[in-house]
Amino acid sequence: MNAVPAPRASTASIADYRLLEPAQKYTRAFCTEEEVQIAGHIRDFVNKEIMPFRHDLEGGWHRDEKLAKETLHRLYAKLVDLGVTKTNLPEKFGGLAYSPVVRQMINEELSRADIGLATKVGKIHWIVSVMAAAGREDLLTEFAPKIVGADSWTACVAITEPAGGANIEDPALEFRTVRTIAREDGDSYVINGHKLWPGPSGYADHFKSRHLSGHLGYWTVATTDPKLGPEGAGIFYVPPDAPGLEFSNPYEKMGFSWTESNSDIWFNDVRIPKRYRIDTQPGQGAQLINGFVIGLGRLAGAARLVGLSDAVLEIVLNWSSNRIIAGTPMRERSMFAGMLGEMYRAIDMARQYYLTITWQVTKPDIYGAPWSREMKAKFSNARSFAGDTAQMVCNRAMELMGAAGYAYESHVEKYMRDYKIVQMWLGGAQRDRIDIAQGLYGPFKWAGSEF
Ligand SMILES: Cc1cc2nc3c(=O)[nH]c(=O)nc-3n(C[C@H](O)[C@H](O)[C@H](O)COP(=O)(O)OP(=O)(O)OC[C@H]3O[C@@H](n4cnc5c(N)ncnc54)[C@H](O)[C@@H]3O)c2cc1C
């Protein structure tokens, strides 16, 4: 028996909110009718197959690790089966080659259910986009069989270091603070260094189960020499069982309990073949990290934060239709109607903005490459506005619902715990603002900055 009375709220869409449905919310200027239907199909799948298991993804109230992992691997395998992990892989490698806009719509729909699970799917997109942008067809050929096959695999991009993640994500510091060093040695690179927080990370066995075949490995930001700045920076693929890799236990944290599974990674003389350096030309590594890892990572975060906010709005709309104040449903009283209207206003503005910028990514000849200051500012705009929106929406939903929102059963508390890190990772909420200023009137460096 629950100690807290179950609130009259549901994570399933019990009412017909046409403004929140794909047919209304996705703008046909950026996508086709067929692509909206794809998003609708994913939405239906999410409602039926994922929503009922949201709490199990973190092992329920008691954080049962076995239940969490079983649920995570099972639901992820279903999504792999549905094809969502291969949506940005070119067709010639067996992928679906969807447009960035439809991928973002899928990202939003998945995040309505669980932003951690959506991020797990996004890891595969992340590594594919980096290898495709570098023109590494040899590596795409190597990894494609696992990405398009029947089995499910996970992957990790390792950036953050003990001296501070935001330094690496600061374009003015030009990767001179990176302390994961890749030293050339004949036909190999030998990597030494220490990363914090990359997820999912850990010993290979941790990622093998009935539903998960394993870990693809670590796409690692490192440098041949910090003094070289952008010329030294690169992305190095490290296989999951490479000798010399060492991991801490997974961290205990506020949200994303097992969907991320973050840990320290130590690289102790880890030797990789030279072809596992993803970038091939001087300066290309810095462009890939700035544009495809950080910039597009933030833009993907914007779509996720919007999906999460939509789900919270649905919950509070449903709940406030049943909460009666002096004979009238709460949501029909002007003060509360105004709050709900403002929540929708911010969510849809955040959505239309991230869709616009995603469409602009497909026109680099007009708007600039993903690593340009201008596009980086727009990616940061999208993520920071969506992050502030999610913060406002979660906070207001809880205030509207009172104790019912604070209760575990409302699901608002889990959404509230989960949105925060998506607002902060890849440099932090303040880094977003500085990168917006960099696009507006930069480039500028902080006077006297020392590494
Ligand atoms: C659940 C989770 C998943 C994660 N997944 C990954 C992953 O997959 N891969 C990975 O590499 N990392 C990952 N991270 C780490 C994350 O990206 C970093 O936490 C983030 O980049 C900020 O770095 P930091 O925590 O070291 O903060 P710090 O660099 O110590 O900064 C602290 C705060 O100060 C501000 N700040 C500091 N310096 C600057 C600056 N120069 N400009 C502007 N603001 C500044 C920022 O607001 C920042 O939030 C994850 C973290 C979490 C919690």
CATH architecture of 27-153: Orthogonal Bundle (1.10)
User: Which residue has a Cα nearest atom 31 of ligand 1?
Assistant: 166
Confidence at 2, pLDDT banded by 50, 70, 90: very low
**Considering only 25-29, 169-173, 351-355, which range has the smallest mean pLDDT?**
169-173
Q: 335: CA distance to ligand 1 center in Å? A: 37
Residues 269-299 have pLDDT tens digits of: 999 999 999 999 999 999 999 999 999 999 9
Q: 287: CA distance to ligand 1 center in Å? A: 20
> Which helix (H) or strand (E) covers residue 137, if one does?
helix 137-148
* Ligand 1 pocket: which of 425, 446, 449 to mutate (most atoms within 8 A of CB): 425
Would 155-281 and 285-441 be classified into the same CATH topology? no
User: Which residue has a Cα nearest atom 38 of ligand 1?
Assistant: 166
Residue given tokens 């197959």 in the structure block: 49
Answer for the pair 356, 48: CB distance below 8 angstroms, yes or no.
no
Residues 98-154 have pLDDT tens digits of: 999 999 999 999 999 999 999 999 999 999 999 999 999 999 999 999 999 999 999
User: Which residue has a Cα nearest atom 33 of ligand 1?
Assistant: 428
Confidence at 4, pLDDT banded by 50, 70, 90: very low
Instruction: Name all residues whose Cβ lies below 6 A of ligand 1.
Output: 157-160, 164-167, 169-170, 197-199, 253, 256, 260, 262, 421, 424-431, 434
Residue given tokens 């679906």 in the structure block: 96
Task: Provide the Cα torsion 127, 128, 134, 139; round to 10°.
Answer: 100
The amino acid that residue 38 corresponds to is I
Give residue 164's pLDDT.
Answer: 87
Q: 421: CA distance to ligand 1 center in Å? A: 9
Q: 185 forms bridges with which residues in the sheet?
A: 188
Choice between 155 and 163, residue whose per-residue pLDDT is larger: 155
Query: How far apart are alpha carbons 190 and 253 in whole angstroms?
Result: 32
**Taking the model in full, what pTM does it have?**
0.96
Give residue 335's pLDDT.
Answer: 97
User: Which residue has a Cα nearest atom 8 of ligand 1?
Assistant: 198
- For the segment 206-223, the average pLDDT, to the nearest whole number, is 97
Query: Residues 319, 324, 325, CA angle at the centre, nearest 5°?
Result: 125
User: Which residue has a Cα nearest atom 53 of ligand 1?
Assistant: 421
| Burial per residue of 52-72, b for 16 or more beta-carbon CB atoms within 10 angstroms, e otherwise | ebbbbbbbeeeeeeebbbbbb
- State which fold the 155-281 domain adopts: Butyryl-CoA Dehydrogenase, subunit A; domain 2 (2.40.110)
> Which helix (H) or strand (E) covers residue 78, if one does?
helix 65-82
What ranges do the domains of the chain cover? 27-153, 155-281, 285-441
Q: Are strands 214-223 and 233-238 parallel, antiparallel or unpaired?
A: antiparallel
The amino acid that residue 58 corresponds to is E
Query: How far apart are alpha carbons 65 and 43 in whole angstroms?
Result: 27
Q: Does pLDDT of 97 surpass 60? A: yes
Neighbours of 2 (CB within 10 A): 9
Query: Of the candidates 163, 160, 159, 143, which has an alpha carbon nearest to the alpha carbon of residue 151?
Result: 143
Query: Of the candidates 124, 314, 306, which has an alpha carbon nearest to the alpha carbon of residue 215?
Result: 124
Query: Of the candidates 352, 348, 287, 297, which has an alpha carbon nearest to the alpha carbon of residue 101?
Result: 352
Query: Which atom of ligand 1 is least distant from the CA of 421?
Result: 53
Q: Does pLDDT of 8 surpass 70? A: no
Q: Does pLDDT of 343 surpass 60? A: yes
Sign of CA dihedral 273, 278, 281, 287: negative
**Considering only 10-14, 227-231, 421-425, which range has the smallest mean pLDDT?**
10-14
- For the segment 180-196, the average pLDDT, to the nearest whole number, is 98
Query: Which atom of ligand 1 is least distant from the CA of 160?
Result: 11
- State which fold the 285-441 domain adopts: Butyryl-CoA Dehydrogenase, subunit A; domain 3 (1.20.140)
